[in-house]
Amino acid sequence: MTDQQVKFYQTGTLTAGNRLLDSELRTVQATIDRSNSLDSGHRACQGCGEALGARYAIDAAMRATNNQLIAANATGCLEVFTTPYPESAWRIPWIHSLFGNASAVATGIAAALKVKGENNVRVIAQGGDGGTTDIGFGCLSGMFERNDDVLYICYDNQGYMNTGVQRSSATPGGARTATTMPIGPEPGADFDKGKSVPLIAMAHNIPYVATASVDRLHDLEAKVQKAMSIRGARYLQIFVPCPLGWGFNPASTIQIARMAVESGLFPVFEAEHGEITASTKIRRKVQVEEYLKLQRRFAHVLKNPDQLQKVQNIADSNIRKFGLMSSAGGEE
């Protein structure tokens, strides 16, 4: 049979795996010899975005580093559901120290490896948004400014989920959490608060900053691959929906993540040394209500036109700031 150029219209879709692609173009997840660094048997909730994101990211990092990887993990959901004594779901060397010091611990590991001449063993620090944007912020900034050779991965589920869904500085405006309850006309989380750690990471001028989402595996893996090809401080924030904390059907994790990106609420982009180098265009723009109405944490917002408008404003502002609409207008 002769070679035939077949047009695969489904390439470039967000389908994980893409078994019709050449093997080099397939995702790590689609390969039989994926390391399964975060192995099955862990105790995550059904539909947990973080469990998915962590496996995707670490497996990609393992391939990129030829399985020479050490991870430092902050306290949080990921740490708790992967290491219920006496078991561990990790197949890589892994250390959990404290809530706020994952980046510092990683710095220490990187220093030790450097001294020992282990140039090919790489280090990842990982934690949830709480451990990253709040309590771990000081250590994170220190690691960035020293340009330590660490990739920090933040699994952003927009709240302190492990302790019962409390607000973090990554919690979006309007969201209900146990510490930002919408009461009467008051919104859930305040709209004029919060911080963007990716932008702050960019302000540190580090070699690579990127955001990614569990709904687009190829993109996530490519970014991990790229990150591991660079030396110095790198930051990757992965959007990981939390069915329990956000109040949605556990089967809808990917869909929720997709809509967050397609509405503009979670911009997906890359930056190097403080300048944006690429952003993922929105394929089919989603109105924020479509995204919000699937999550019980936003029930209050939907009843309040004012708050709804505020959310839309955030989306529109992101679209403008990060150039998320292609010139064609976003419909393919």
Partner 1 sequence: MAEAVGLCRPEVICAYPITPQTHIVEDLGVLVKGGQLTDCEFINVESEFAALSVAIGSSAAGARTYTATASQGLLFMAEAVYNASGLGLPIVMTVGNRAIGSPINIWNDQSDSMSMRDAGWIQLFAETNQQAIDVHIQAFKIAEALSMPVMVCVDGFILTHAYEQMDVPDQEQVDHFLPPFEPRQVLDPADPISIGAMVGPEAFTEVRYIAHHKQMQALKVIPQIAEQFKGIFGRDSGGLISTYRADDADTLIVTLGSVIGTISDVIDEMRDKGQKIGAVTIRSFRPFPLDEIYEALKNTRRVVVFEKCLAVGLGGIVASNVRMAHRGLTSPVYAVIGGLGGRPITRASLRELFEKAMIDDLEETTFLDLKQDVVDHEMDREEKFTRPGAIAENVLRQIGVVDVAKTT
Q: Is 95 in the site for partner 1 (CB under 8 A)?
A: yes
CB of 80 to partner 1, least distance (A): 6
CB of 99 to partner 1, least distance (A): 8
Nearest-angstrom CA–CA distance, 172 and 195: 10
The 8-class DSSP code of residue 299 comes to H
Question: Which residue among 91, 281, 285, 321 contacts partner 1 (CB under 8 A)?
Answer: 91
Q: Is 326 in the site for partner 1 (CB under 8 A)?
A: no
CB of 302 to partner 1, least distance (A): 38
φ and ψ at 70, to 5 degrees?
-130, 140
> Contact at 8 Å (CB) between 124 and 118?
no
φ and ψ at 277, to 5 degrees?
-110, -20
Q: Is 108 in the site for partner 1 (CB under 8 A)?
A: yes
Encoded one letter per residue, x for contact with partner 1 by CB under 8 A and - for no contact, window 109-148 reads: xxxxxxxx----x----------------xx-xx--xx--
At 69, which helix (H) or strand (E)?
strand 69-73
Nearest-angstrom CA–CA distance, 144 and 150: 9
Q: How far out from the chain centre does Cα 172 lie?
A: 15
Question: Which residue among 30, 48, 69, 154 contacts partner 1 (CB under 8 A)?
Answer: 69
Sequence-ordered strand ranges (E) for 214-279: 234-239, 269-272, 275-279
| Count of positions (residues) in the chain | 332
At 123, which helix (H) or strand (E)?
strand 122-128
> Contact at 8 Å (CB) between 41 and 89?
yes
Q: Is 164 in the site for partner 1 (CB under 8 A)?
A: no
Question: Which residue among 38, 57, 70, 151 contacts partner 1 (CB under 8 A)?
Answer: 70
Q: Is 94 in the site for partner 1 (CB under 8 A)?
A: yes
Q: Is 73 in the site for partner 1 (CB under 8 A)?
A: yes
Question: Which residue among 83, 166, 196, 326 contacts partner 1 (CB under 8 A)?
Answer: 83
Nearest-angstrom CA–CA distance, 239 and 225: 18
Closer CB to partner 1, 111 or 203, in the complex? 111
Q: Is 36 in the site for partner 1 (CB under 8 A)?
A: no
Number of residues that bind partner 1 (CB under 8 A): 44
Half-sphere exposure of residue 116: CA atoms within 13 angstroms, side-chain side: 10
| Residues 198-217 interacting with partner 1 (rule: CB under 8 A) | none
- Per CB under 8 A, residues contacting partner 1 are 67-70, 72-73, 79-80, 83-86, 88, 90-98, 100-101, 104-116, 121, 138-139, 141-142, 145-146
